[in-house]
Amino acid sequence: MDLGLKDKVVLVTGGSRGIGQACALAFAGEGAQVVINYAGNEEAAQKTLGEIEKLGAKGKALKFDVANAQACQEAIEGIVKEMGKLDVLVNNAGIAIDGLVMRISEDDFDRQLDVNLKGAFLLTKAVTRPMMKARKGAIINLTSIVGESGNAGQAAYAASKAGLLGLTKSVAKELASRNIRVNAVSPGFIETDMTSGIPAEARTKMLENIPLSRLGTAQEISDAVLWLASDRSSYVTGQVVRVNGGMYT
């Protein structure tokens, strides 16, 4: 099925690994021009960039901190200047620093909100002007099942991801009149670097709570992201697409 993404210009934050990498490669496979943002792992970013180019797509890797307003503004302006437009923004960059609320430091709480929530806000704000000028665009925010259901030991992470839901719904209403759609994808437990270190006992208990009895894959998340970025979802905005194996409905 042709999703109509060929030659679209896409920015995927946190695009060097995990779900972000899967999204970047999926867009490249559809013929889009893909820019990946990364925080510090140059080797992983270059490897992903190489994979994008192997798919015959144009790619670019940009290192910047999504929690830095000036860096976000400069990144968006640079992409638009070089590529002429920015059609799709995927706010995927995120960090998790687990800890009980009575023990987690204020700095760790702030950092998670800065990256996971403020970063999405800053890039959305920066991309609004060029998308409004083009009178079209798609913004997809990666939230999490714990942002909806909560999870012991992840109060800060859950708060940041819950905030993304409110941001998504509010900005969707602001930008709908300019044909800019804003949606969120809420993954359940996915096979990524973040979940690879879960102890066997905890993993078994986790699977007992998932009706489909398995963890999801990064590709299953990227499938939802691509759909929301395409015109196949042209009448969908302000929504949260849950991809969690039935764990939370």
Q: Catalytic site residues?
A: 157
CB under 8 A, 24+ apart: contacts of 94-98: 94/14, 94/142, 94/144, 94/160, 94/161, 96/154, 96/157, 96/194, 97/156, 97/157, 98/153, 98/154, 98/157
Encoded amino acid at 163, one letter: G
Cα dist from 178 to 57, 78, 137, 138, 203, whole Å? 28, 23, 9, 11, 44
Enumerate residues 6+ apart whose C-beta is below 8 A from 55: 25, 28, 29
Torsion of CA 103, 105, 106, 111, to 10 degrees: -120
Enumerate residues 6+ apart whose C-beta is below 8 A from 40: 63
